[in-house]
Structure 1
Amino acid sequence: MAEILVAGGWGLLAGSALVLGAAVGFFARVRPPVVAAVMAFGSGVLLSAVSFELIGEAHEQGGMVPTTIGAVGGAVVYTLADVWLARRGARHRKRSGGQQPSEREQAGSGTAMAFGALLDGIPESIVIGTSLLGGGTVSAVTVAAVFISNVPEGLSSAAGMRRAGRDPRYVFGLWGGIAVISGAAAMLGYGALGDAPPGLLAGITASAGGAILAMIADTMIPEAFADAHLWIGLITVIGFLTAFALSQA
């Protein structure tokens, strides 16, 4: 039980960055190029974590076949769910400009964005929990990568919600709830998968990596490119190297 609570604590910590970013994005008037630059940095951090901590770890656990099946499966599930949510108003849930629809413009878009936030956050949190399996310590790189990337996600999305006229109670209730669910997902990742065979665990880890990679390409990089396209490549590489340096420390 103590280990499960520890997993939940790490997941909650990583998820709390969403609330931190949302507070900055909602109350501060952050210039769009700054939001884009932070989003590009977060994309690089997550790309590094997916490469070395998720896909690389999955390959070591179960080999190429479970890794490939898991990664493709995770990307397919994410993409299909994202398409469904996009048709209901959550297509631009991470955009900081005026792209997000208000509830008056598209009824049900608030609920769709809430489900979209869950779709983006749960795979990351499950992986935080599974990193504790086998009696080891939590993957500091994974926690750091999720935390760092969650700040610009919350910032950009909350700025867009403010522009769309969303009530502060909705905004912070949403991100606070996602932070709590992130902790619960990390507990689930640890508690439910403790006896999983290596091949299955590899597939689940890789599926989270595939879903996160699809999310980066579909939501984070477009937001970064919108206002920082001349610098996005350099900033993304810096984020990637930052996470890589943490993994080698």
Structure 2
Amino acid sequence: MLSALLWGAVAACSLVVGAIAGVVRPWKPRFVGWVLGFGAGALVASISFELAEEGFRIGGALPVAVGLAVGGLAFFLADFGVVRVGGRNGRAGLPLALGALLDGIPEQAVLGIGIAGGGVVSISLLVAIFVSNLPEAVGSASDLKANGRRGTHIIAGWAGVAVLCVAATVAGYQFQEVAGSQLRGGIDGFAAGALLVMLVTSMIPEATEKAGRQAGLAAVLGFAVAAGLSLSS
């Protein structure tokens, strides 16, 4: 239990670090676009090698497919709610935070399940979560700050997301006793589906708008780093 709590906190702390970095100083739009592009590439690698592939391996195609559909629909509906209450006035800030929450909870639950099942943490998954969290938080906090949100409120909001993600790691650890392989595969699919919709609707368009064609190069770099970490483990 203590191990799950510790590693969950390590993975989630990048959310708070990124939020602070996005609040304490203004960042040039091109830099934010590069960060978002890098994070998008890292997330694509995480979806490919840590979520979808692992889900297919342990649970089979059907649970992952169902999880993908449910995760994608969950983000779509939640993002629609953000739009209805005026969240788009903050550009991609709120959708990025929402994406971090919707993918972070199942993703870190998978981390906790892995710790409980094998007794060791997946370093590649841990680093992939950390690397992908950081640019999401920086980009979101920068957008929200630029649109008039108070820095303390932004940091507090991201701290809340981080606490929920840590709690999900502990819950996943406890859940290992009753979670069968198909359910674990569905959880992987849910995280992947939420991430894919967030990437296409919010993160990638924002990165391209801010960094132009250079966002694609940043995404390739992010993918290479995260994929290398995943495949080397």
Scaled by the length of structure 2, the TM-score of the pair is 0.89
- The one of 129, 150, 158 equivalent to 1:175 is 158
- The one of 6, 20, 27 equivalent to 2:3 is 6
Pairwise CA RMSD: 2.2
Q: What corresponds to 1:84 in structure 2?
A: 81
- SS, match of residue 210 in structure 1: helix
- The one of 14, 38, 41 equivalent to 1:41 is 38
- The one of 235, 239, 248 equivalent to 2:218 is 235
How far apart are residue 226 of structure 1 and its match?
0.8
Q: What corresponds to 2:54 in structure 1?
A: 57
Of the structure 1 ranges 155-164 and 114-123, higher mean CA displacement relative to structure 2 is found in 114-123
Q: What corresponds to 1:104 in structure 2?
A: none
How far apart are residue 137 of structure 1 and its match?
1.9
Q: What corresponds to 1:210 in structure 2?
A: 193
Q: Does 1:32 align with 2:29?
A: yes
Q: Distance in 2 between matches of 1:36 and 1:233?
A: 10
Maintained 8 Å contact 1:89/1:113: no
Structure with the higher helix share, 1 or 2: 2
Q: Distance in 2 between matches of 1:24 and 1:59?
A: 36
Matches within 5 A, 1:91-110: 91=88, 95=92
Maintained 8 Å contact 2:55/2:188: yes
Moved over 3 A (4+): 91-96, 112-121
Q: Does 1:158 align with 2:155?
A: no
How far apart are residue 136 of structure 1 and its match?
4.0
Q: What corresponds to 1:68 in structure 2?
A: 65
Maintained 8 Å contact 1:8/1:185: no
Identity %: 39
Q: Distance in 2 between matches of 1:113 and 1:246?
A: 24
Matches within 5 A, 1:111-126: 118-126=101-109
- SS, match of residue 166 in structure 1: coil
Query: CA 1:34/1:141 → structure 2, altered by over 3 Å: closer, same or farther?
Result: same
Unaligned regions of 5+ residues in structure 2, if any?
A: none
How far apart are residue 202 of structure 1 and its match?
1.0
Q: Distance in 2 between matches of 1:10 and 1:82?
A: 29
Q: What corresponds to 1:221 in structure 2?
A: 204
Maintained 8 Å contact 1:72/1:210: yes
Unaligned regions of 5+ residues in structure 1, if any?
A: 101-111
How far apart are residue 213 of structure 1 and its match?
1.8
- The one of 109, 117, 128 equivalent to 2:111 is 128
Matches within 5 A, 1:192-211: 192-211=175-194
Q: Does 1:18 align with 2:1?
A: no
Q: Does 1:184 align with 2:181?
A: no
Query: CA 1:92/1:14 → structure 2, altered by over 3 Å: closer, same or farther?
Result: farther
The one-letter code of the counterpart of 1:6 is S
- SS, match of residue 132 in structure 1: helix
Deviations along 1:136-162, one digit per CA (max 9) or x if unpaired, are 422222221221122112112212222
Deviations along 1:56-97, one digit per CA (max 9) or x if unpaired, are 01111121111111111211122112212221123365637x
How far apart are residue 26 of structure 1 and its match?
1.1
Of the structure 1 ranges 122-131 and 26-35, higher mean CA displacement relative to structure 2 is found in 122-131
Scaled by the length of structure 1, the TM-score of the pair is 0.84
Q: Distance in 1 between matches of 2:87 and 2:176?
A: 31
